[in-house]
A and B are shown apart, each in its own frame.
Chain A
Amino acid sequence: MWPEPSHQNSELRKEMGQTVIEKIIQNHSEEEVKPDSIVWMGLDIRSARDFGGPNVVKNYEREFGDTPLADKRKTFFTFDLCVPACSLKYADNQQVCREFAKKMGVKVFDVDRGIGSHVLIEEGLAQAGLTVVGTDSHLNILGAVGCFGQGMGDVDITFAFRTGKTWFEVPETLKVVIKGGYDFPVSAKDLTLHILKELGTHKAALKAVEFYGEAVQNLSLSGRITLCSMVTEMAGIIGFVPDFGDSLRNEVERLSGSKFSPLRADEDSVYSEVLEIDISGISPQVAAPYSPDNVQDVSELKGVKIDTGFIGSCTNGRTEDLALAAQILKGRKIKEGVTLKVVPATKRVYEEILEKGILEDLFRSGAIISSPGCSGCADGHIGLTGRGEVQVSTGNRNFAGKQGKGETYLASPAVVAASCLAGQIVSPEDI
């Protein structure tokens, strides 16, 4: 069934430089890897969540019965959407996955662990150069650590569980060079929203993106996660930040307990396009309803009354994000009538904010601090909005109806914190 490897251009292949995504796929395929070619690709890690996971189990049992998985040690469940289950239907679905996992000898990162993509990084499972798939469209967050993560549907994941392979159309690579820098109160989220505004859902569509420039090179892991997560909203396949300093290496190695040595693009690799984006002088950015690329300067939206704030999600749920919010909230009180929901990305983040006193600062300001998980992007877990409710969120999507029936504005942790103090959208500088 697997197509015969085509060697006719293999010499040419060696002569031509390859981008990061081309190198990773090449290392996992017997076939010639070049943009637009469709190849069979080996998968190092395959995972499923509490959404999609039960469908995978159902597919698997229907199609493959009790036949063992390709490799149980490379297969995981990560529960992160409705955690712990808030209704019987999700409780049932999670139990379906647990029982399948037990039968197959697969590890489950259960409802206490937090967002699967982040857990995979923390556990050292998603490492630079590896291929990882799961039922999470933001799994391309793993690009932050040089890993090719890709969200897929339950048919794909079922097939991956059984075979350890998938077919993939090699994307072209877009090179984006960021010019200029930024200072507080501008953060990685504002940089990301500004890039999204520039690229829209057009320019990076179906492409891998490599981000270069001092501002992205200096991002911490948390900042790289923020940037890479929203490549999904740019309609891209995955984003990489190939340049980095020692502090990032130390951070990733300390967190994951494994060596960090990501692949770099060859000097002569071919890009579909090279774009420059100048971020000099940008102010905090806010995406207004109902599209993540509907991005404006915070000043243009100043005064929009809010009912709710949300700080968390796979985009902005790490310790550094919560610390930024706490820095603004410390010693102050959230405006009466406004609620602020804080959801750490993982149990490990929870532990860090506890140890560093960040949790206390958030709590004393009036915030609700929930157990770790995806929260508002999923049905049921903390954070849906009702009709007419206005929310300012650090999440990544504000499509109509995505996070309930209200209106969602996307912003940085600093803008959300400041806005919750003011009861309206403001810049942190206004506090």
Chain B
Amino acid sequence: MTESVFFGRIWILQDIKGRLIADIDTDQIYHNAFLHITDISQMGQYALGNLEDWKDFPQKVRPGDILVAGRNFGAGSSRQQAVDCFVSLKVGLILAPSFGAIYFRNAVNSGFPVLRCPQLDELVAKKILETGDEVRVNGQSGEGLNTSKEFPFQVEPMSPVQYDIHKAGSLFHYGKKAVG
């Protein structure tokens, strides 16, 4: 069973004015030049490789770190690699106000935690969340806490399907019993 409480240091994908970057598409997350790769362990090095100022993310990130992104994160293509590159880097969680529909599904199916946090733009604008802060998020209850600043916030809890797949580890583990 996989835990649904996440604790880690956050990285905020923000522009020079400090605002969360909206509509980061899958080519910025994982460029189509590397779509021939099928080995997940090889994907991490290309994470955010086409997003200006974030090309060194794979070198900076540590296992368990939490990525904080803007609205419609993962817009664009259906490539699983845009999720798997973060799995490869052992990123613990991605928070965003909303995700591209296919991206969200892909993450859920991979058992990779993604949680919607509608207030995220405001939390970042008011510097309640800043890069380097440590946060704890409970995916089942939706309770979040910036432990560095002792400031609580809310996220949308996982849906039952998301929770069940996450708990099982992936869609495959979840589905195996019924379909063999």
Contact = CB atoms under 8 A, between A and B. Distances in A.
Q: Do A and B come from one complex?
A: yes
Contact of A378 (B32, B78, B101, B174): B32
Interface stretch (B9-17, B22-30, B123-131, B136-144): B22-30
B179 A162 contact: yes
A85 B101 CA distance: 30
Contacts of A253: none
B176 to A, nearest CB: 8
A392 B134 CA distance: 45
B36 A90 contact: yes
A261 interface: no
B171 A400 contact: no
A112 to B, nearest CB: 21
Nearest to A169: B159
With a 10 A CB-CB cut-off, give which of B22, B27, B81, B160 has the most chain A CB atoms. Answer: B27
A155 interface: yes
A159 B175 contact: yes
A397 B32 CA distance: 13
Interface string B78-115: 11110100000000000000101110011001100000
A153 B75 contact: no
A352 interface: no
Nearest to B50: A401
B35 A2 contact: no
Given A399-B25, A401-B31, A2 B171 contact: no
A80 to B, nearest CB: 13
Nearest to B81: A55
A67 B180 contact: yes
Contacts of A378: 32
A408 to B, nearest CB: 12
A67 B78 CA distance: 26
Nearest to B82: A153
Given A93-B36, A136-B78, A156-B106, A237 B174 contact: no
A429 interface: no
A379 B35 contact: yes
Contacts of A217: none
B102 A379 contact: no
Nearest to A91: B36
A51 B35 contact: yes
A215 B119 CA distance: 39
Nearest to A57: B38
Size category, B interface: 35 or more
A1 B31 CA distance: 36
B80 A1 contact: no
B102 A137 contact: yes
**B172, B176, B177: most-surrounded residue (chain A CB, <10 A):** B172
B98 A399 contact: no
A89 interface: yes
Most buried by A among B80, B83, B106: B80
Contacts of B38: 54-55, 58, 93
Contact of B80 (A2, A136, A153, A401): A153
Contact of A137 (B78, B160, B170): B78
A402 B75 CA distance: 12
A291 interface: yes
A63 interface: yes
A52 B172 contact: no
A167 B105 CA distance: 9
A59 interface: yes
B106 A152 contact: yes
A1 B25 contact: no
A235 interface: yes
B109 A156 contact: yes
B80 A55 contact: yes
Contacts of A92: 36
Contacts of A54: 36, 38
Contacts of A19: none
A163 interface: yes
Given A1-B175, A58-B38, A379-B33, 6 more contacts: A1-B174, A87-B36, A90-B36, A158-B172, A201-B23, A399-B28
18 contacts: A1-B178, A38-B159, A52-B78, A54-B38, A55-B38, A55-B81, A89-B36, A137-B76, A153-B110, A155-B171, A156-B109, A163-B175, A201-B23, A201-B71, A205-B98, A397-B76, A399-B25, A401-B50
Interface of B: 22-23, 25, 27-28, 31-33, 35-36, 38, 50, 52, 71-72, 75-81, 83, 98, 100-102, 105-106, 109-110, 159-161, 170-172, 174-180
The 10 nearest A-B residue pairs measured at CB: A1-B178, A153-B106, A153-B80, A89-B36, A151-B78, A155-B109, A137-B78, A154-B80, A401-B50, A379-B32
